[in-house]
């Protein structure tokens, strides 16, 4: 376990930062302010045998049963995640993110990244071009893979500077099943190439549980063959609240055995324009010894402001990376991000994520 000496003050500081984030967010509008729940049609229930309470219960049950998948997609879309993609995504989507990170040593680090995707309907409705780029590696080394098999985003314990492009062919595009084949290149000297196939299967259990299984097989001319397995379970705690337990493991010819990670997240939407994530995770590998390499807890507040396409994030965090000689040292950091989102369709203009 991590050494707690000197960490208590940092944890209190992180708790204070999280409290400030929640203070910024405020209580948020109530469920009633977002609009009434859809009632059960009166003709479907005998009026003389159905009380008001029963009608509310039935209406809530029907709403949750219909909306659990849409709610998960909405959270991932709002926070800019590529783990879940809506089959109805627009013809083009571009996210330009700029971040300024402060760490405990008083150092500031600036980072910018771009992610873009565009459908190519004149060639095939199933083809999509994806481009990713950043000026330097993400300072945080331990996190769950965002896009397994894609260079720079597929490793649990390592992230590298990259500019790469990929052409994807969607074999199956349904809310429950997403299967695509991809091939691309990373723009370095000499150029690196990769191919992959990814399957994401989603299954609902009851009205509030959702399970997802992902399997990615990839080959990169530098790292060789590898695979990533993802398993997550999500529970809807309310109309605007989600609890997620996500797990991932990656093994390849160049990895340190099995690189794995597990993260528990609490996601709360205050309004269509404001949301917060509280998360804690552990990350490690199995070679040369099966040990935990990093512990990490964080809070992330994200808000859409001024324009539908403009967002900012505030993310305080504390991590405990393992030292080479053993033991763990606490590290506190605070990151501010500003993101510009462009999205739309050739058929007409679409709203940005988070717009009401």
For every one of its 356 residues, what pLDDT tens digit does the chain have, with 9 covering 90 and above?
555 445 555 545 555 555 544 554 554 443 333 333 444 444 444 444 557 776 666 665 555 445 666 767 776 777 766 655 555 566 888 889 999 999 888 889 998 888 888 888 888 888 999 888 776 655 555 778 777 767 655 555 444 456 788 999 999 988 889 999 999 988 777 788 999 999 999 998 888 899 999 999 999 887 789 999 999 999 999 888 999 999 999 998 888 889 999 999 999 999 989 999 999 999 999 988 888 999 999 999 999 999 999 999 999 999 999 998 889 999 999 999 999 999 877 555 444 455 44
pLDDT of residue 238: 86
Cα–Cα distance measured from residue 142 to residue 212, given in angstroms and rounded to the nearest whole number: 22
310: left (phi over 0), alpha (psi -120 to 50) or beta: beta
Cα–Cα distance measured from residue 320 to residue 231, given in angstroms and rounded to the nearest whole number: 24
User: How many domains is the chain partitioned into structurally?
Assistant: 1
Which CATH number does the domain housing residue 38 bear?
2.40.160.40
Q: Residue 252 falls within a domain, yes or no?
A: yes
The structure tokens listed for 22 are: 């929640």
Residues 6+ apart with CB under 8 A from 203: 176, 210, 211, 212, 213
Asked if residue 190 has a cis previous peptide bond (ω within 30° of 0), the answer is yes
The structure tokens listed for 101 are: 């990170």
Q: Residue 355 falls within a domain, yes or no?
A: no
Cα–Cα distance measured from residue 61 to residue 54, given in angstroms and rounded to the nearest whole number: 10
Cα–Cα distance measured from residue 200 to residue 186, given in angstroms and rounded to the nearest whole number: 24
Domain housing 74: 8-344
pLDDT of residue 121: 83
Cα–Cα distance measured from residue 208 to residue 59, given in angstroms and rounded to the nearest whole number: 14
Q: Residue 353 falls within a domain, yes or no?
A: no
Cα–Cα distance measured from residue 317 to residue 214, given in angstroms and rounded to the nearest whole number: 28
Q: Residue 262 falls within a domain, yes or no?
A: yes
Cα–Cα distance measured from residue 356 to residue 353, given in angstroms and rounded to the nearest whole number: 9
pTM of the predicted model as reported, rounded to 2 decimal places: 0.73
């Amino acid at each position: 376990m991590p050494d707690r000496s000197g960490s208590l003050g940092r944890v209190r500081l992180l708790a204070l930062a999280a409290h400030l984030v929640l203070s910024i967010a405020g209580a948020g509008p109530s469920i009633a302010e977002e609009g009434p729940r859809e009632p059960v049609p009166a003709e479907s229930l005998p009026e003389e045998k159905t009380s008001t309470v029963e009608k509310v219960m039935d209406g809530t049950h029907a709403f949750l049963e219909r909306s659990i998948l849409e709610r998960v997609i909405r959270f991932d879309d709002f926070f800019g995640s590529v783990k879940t993609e809506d089959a109805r995504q627009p013809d083009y989507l571009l996210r330009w993110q700029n971040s300024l990170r402060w760490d405990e040593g008083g150092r500031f680090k600036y980072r910018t990244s771009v992610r873009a995707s565009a459908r190519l309907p004149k060639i095939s409705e199933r083809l999509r071009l994806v481009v990713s780029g950043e000026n330097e590696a993400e300072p945080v080394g331990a996190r769950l893979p965002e896009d397994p098999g894609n260079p720079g985003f597929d490793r649990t314990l390592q992230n590298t500077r990259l500019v790469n492009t990929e052409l994807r062919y969607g074999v199956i595009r349904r809310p429950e099943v997403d299967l695509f084949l991809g091939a691309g290149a990373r723009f370095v000297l000499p150029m690196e190439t990769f191919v992959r196939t990814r399957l994401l299967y989603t299954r609902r259990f009851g009205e509030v549980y959702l399970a997802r299984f992902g399997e990615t097989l990839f080959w990169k001319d530098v790292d060789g063959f590898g695979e990533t397995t993802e398993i997550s379970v999500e529970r809807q705690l309310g109309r605007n609240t989600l609890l997620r337990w996500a797990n991932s493991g990656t093994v390849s010819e160049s990895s340190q055995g099995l690189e794995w990670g597990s993260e528990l997240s609490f996601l709360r939407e205050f309004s269509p324009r404001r949301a917060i994530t509280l998360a804690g995770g552990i990350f490690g590998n199995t070679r040369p010894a099966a040990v935990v390499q990093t512990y990490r807890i964080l809070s992330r507040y994200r808000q859409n402001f001024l324009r539908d396409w403009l967002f900012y994030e505030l993310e305080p965090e504390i991590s405990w990376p393992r030292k080479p000689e053993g033991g763990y040292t606490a590290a506190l950091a605070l990151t501010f991000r500003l993101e510009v989102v462009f999205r739309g369709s050739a058929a007409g203009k679409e709203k940005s994520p988070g717009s009401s």
